[in-house]
Amino acid sequence: MDILNSPHIPPSLIGALTFYPFLFTTLGRMQAVKNILPPKADTQKQYHLCNKIVASVHSTIMTCTGLYLLFTVDWSKNDISTYKTALTPFLVGLELGYLTQDTAFEFYQRAKFGVGSNLILFHHVSVILGSAYYLYALTINNPGPYFIGMLSLMNMSTPILHFRWVLQSNGRTFVNSRLKRFIDTALMVTYFWCRIFGNWWMGVAIGTKLGMTWYEAPFHIGKKFTITTTTMFFMNVVWWLILAKQWLRSVNSFYFTKQVVKKSE
C-alpha cells in the first residue's frame, strides 16, 4: 500500500485501541491500584484513577518516542518539516487511538456516574478530528519528524498533572503542604516548556532550515498543519494562563496570607 496514494491506517492506531482499554480493565481489577486511594474512595474515583494511569502510560510512551525521533532525525535534510519517517504515522496513530478510547471513557463516565469535563471532551474531540485529518493528509503529504516530534513532547506534563491528582485525593495534608507548591511549580514550568516554548522552538528550527523567521515558518508547512499548530498554540497559552493563575493564588495563600489564630479566652 503506497502511503502517498491511498489512505493510511498505522498499526499503532489498532494497537492503541486494543492495548489501552485492556490496560484500563486490568488496572480496575488490581487491588494494588485500589489501595492507592483512601478506602472511602467511591467507584467513580477508582475508575478515574485507572484512566489517569492509562493517560500517564500513554504520555510517557509519546514523550520517549518523540525524543527518540528528534534525536535520530536526519538534520542534514533541508525539508525537515516534510520528509517521511516511519515514526511520524506511528505517533499520530497512537495519539488518535488513545484519545478515541479516552473520549469513550468521558461518555461512559457521564452515563454511569453523571460527571464529566466539558473542557476535556472538547479538547479530545478537536484533537481526534485533527489526528484523523492528519492521517488522511498522509495520502497527500507528510509534515515530517520535527513537526510530529515536538507535538509529541506536549505529553510531557501529563504524568505530573495526574500524580498531583493522586496526592490531592489522599486528603488535605498534601493540599496544605510545600510539596504541593513544588509539584504545582514543576507542572507549570513543564507545561510551559513542552507546550508553548516547544511550539515556538519548532517554528524557529523549521524557519532556520527554510531561511525565514519563526513566525513565517508555520505558513510554509501546509495550511492544514498551520491551522493545527496555531490552534494548539493559542489553546495551550490559555490553559497555561489558567494554570499560572491557580499557581499564584496557591503560593500567595500558602506563603503570604497570614492565618488569623483566635486566642482562647
Per-residue pLDDT band for 176 (boundaries 50, 70, 90) equals confident
Residue 218 in any domain: the answer is yes
Residue 257 in any domain: the answer is no
Give the mean model confidence (pLDDT) for residues 216-239: 75
pLDDT recorded at residue 80: 59
What is the share, in percent, of the chain residues with pLDDT greater than 90? 21
pLDDT recorded at residue 40: 83
pLDDT digits (tens, 9 = 90+) for 27-56: 999 999 989 988 888 888 899 899 999 999
pTM to 2 decimal places? 0.81
pLDDT recorded at residue 99: 84
Residue 2 in any domain: the answer is no
More confident residue, 15 or 227: 15
* CA atoms within 13 Å, Cβ hemisphere of 56: 15
pLDDT digits (tens, 9 = 90+) for 134-151: 555 554 455 567 777 877
The number of folded domains in the chain is 1
Any alpha helices (H) in 153-222, and if so which ranges? 158-168, 172-175, 178-191, 198-210
Indicate if the pLDDT at residue 156 is higher than 70.
yes
pLDDT recorded at residue 199: 81
Amino acid at residue number 16: A
Residue 102 in any domain: the answer is yes
Residue 6 in any domain: the answer is no
Mean pLDDT (the chain) is 79
Residue 94 in any domain: the answer is yes
Residue 262 in any domain: the answer is no
Say if CB 171 and CB 38 are below 8 A apart.
yes
Residue 197: domain span = 11-252
Indicate if the pLDDT at residue 167 is higher than 80.
yes
Per-residue pLDDT band for 130 (boundaries 50, 70, 90) equals low
Give the mean model confidence (pLDDT) for residues 113-134: 68
| Cell output for 93 | 496513530
Please list, in sequence order, all residues whose beta carbon lies within 8 angstroms of the beta carbon of residue 227, skipping any fewer than 6 positions away: none
Residue 1 in any domain: the answer is no
Q: Which of 103-107, 112-116, 211-215 has the lowest mean pLDDT?
A: 112-116
